Every structure is written in C-alpha cells, then in structure tokens.
Amino acid sequence: MVEMKQVSKTVRILDLIASIDGMRFTDIQRALWEMSHTRPFTRAERGYWCTNLCGGFYYHPGILNFYCEKGADGLWRTKLAHGAKPWASLKATDRF
C-alpha cells in the first residue's frame, strides 16, 4: 500500500506562486480560502491567513516575507531561482 504524503497549505500556495509570474496578495488569500472552503471568497474574508502570510513582529517573519518578495508592480514572487523549492520538505503537521 502506498502512503500518500499530505501536503500543507504553505507548500501548495508557494508552489502556486512559483508556477505563475506573481500573484496579488488578495489572490493568494482567495486561493488559500478555496483550498479549505466551499463557500465563495468575499471581501469579509480578506483577513484570512494574514498572520501566516505576513508574520508578526514578535513571532515569525511570515511565509511571504521569508520565501517571496513583492515586486514594484505589487505582485508577490518567490525569491529563489526557478525550480528551487526548499519548502517542498514541509509536512502538513509542520508549523511555520
């Protein structure tokens, strides 16, 4: 029997950002929302996952600040060379 490794939202969203040429912050939130909810993403959910994405002054830098950079056009892109995915080793049980 083959055991399937559960991939965390962090890995899935970073893979998505790496696969396209940049994403707006709200588009990142929408993609994360759609990974777990069947109800449509609305303006009321715009704070969804902000702490994980942006971090906080006292606890962690945030996924976007650690793995990505924001371009002059306002789009978030991964900082690493194309194809490099150091986050791929993260498991669903890991906490960022």
- Residue ranges of domains in the chain: 9-36+46-83
Query: pLDDT tens digits, residue range 11-48?
Result: 889 989 988 888 999 999 999 999 989 999 998 888 88
Distances (CA, A) of 16 to 2, 28, 32, 59: 25, 9, 10, 25
**pTM of the predicted protein model:** 0.76
| Cβ-Cβ contacts under 8 Å for 90 (sequence gap 6 or more) | 8, 10, 11, 96
Q: With the CA atoms of 7, 10, 12 and 14 taken in that order, what torsion angle do they form, in degrees rounded to the nearest 10?
A: -140
Distance CA 31, CA 63 (A): 15
| 3 state SS of 50 | helix
Query: pLDDT tens digits, residue range 46-73?
Result: 888 888 899 887 877 888 988 899 999 9
Distance CA 93, CA 96 (A): 10
